[in-house]
Amino acid sequence: MARWQPHAPERLVVAALELFEERGYENTTVIEIAERAGLTKSTFFRHFPDKREVLFGGGTLAGLLADGIADAPAAAGPLEAVTHALETLGRETFTAERREFSARRGAVIAANPELREREALKGLGLTAAMAEAFGRRGVPDPAARVAAQLGALVMTLAYERWSEPGGDTDFGAAARQALREVQAATAAS
């Protein structure tokens, strides 16, 4: 095994997903993931704290969301800033090339209670990151928290539509559509 090989995190994620699909999450070890990726167990733990985290991207999404909200035009309201952030995610993360992987990842998560729990906790973390980003933009609390919750809903709706197997929806377009639907629903209540 080579001392250093490029793209270790990506290789570990792919190996983990394949093994989780083949054997199930519970029946897969970190050592097996590392071996499938052609890496060592210590390399795995340099990139991920445990085998659950391998499917959740660390803090990447939270950082991208916060940066996207910060980079939104100054005149943008909170939900427009969320949409700006989600469009950034669409360009950088939720690309057409990742759609199949994301659908496979979703199926693995849906099949395992421990992974569903981690997914829910990550969602709470994303919502908190958005609320903090709104606070830095000067949005007062509780408006920042409400906007973050609505932003999380918009993101969930957009992700569900984007990740449908065989779909061709652009993530940014799905986010804009979801925002319009959320705005319409809140105006009607």
For residues 90 and 169, state if they share a domain. Answer: yes
Nearest Cα neighbor of 70 from 152, 136, 148, 128 is 136
1, part of any domain: no
Whether residue 28 contacts residue 46, with contact meaning beta carbons closer than 8 Å, is answered with no
Nearest Cα neighbor of 186 from 162, 139, 163, 154 is 154
What is the predicted pLDDT for the residue at 86? Answer: 93
Whichever domain contains 127, its CATH number is 1.10.357.10
70, part of any domain: yes
Full residue range of the structural domain in which residue 134 is found: 59-188
**Lowest pLDDT segment from 2-6, 71-75, 136-140, 177-181:** 2-6
For residues 30 and 92, state if they share a domain. Answer: no
What is the predicted pLDDT for the residue at 96? Answer: 85
131, part of any domain: yes
Whether residue 25 contacts residue 111, with contact meaning beta carbons closer than 8 Å, is answered with yes
Give the residue-averaged pLDDT of 92-119: 92
Distance CA 128, CA 136 (A): 12
Q: What is the pTM of this model?
A: 0.86
Nearest Cα neighbor of 90 from 121, 53, 64 is 64
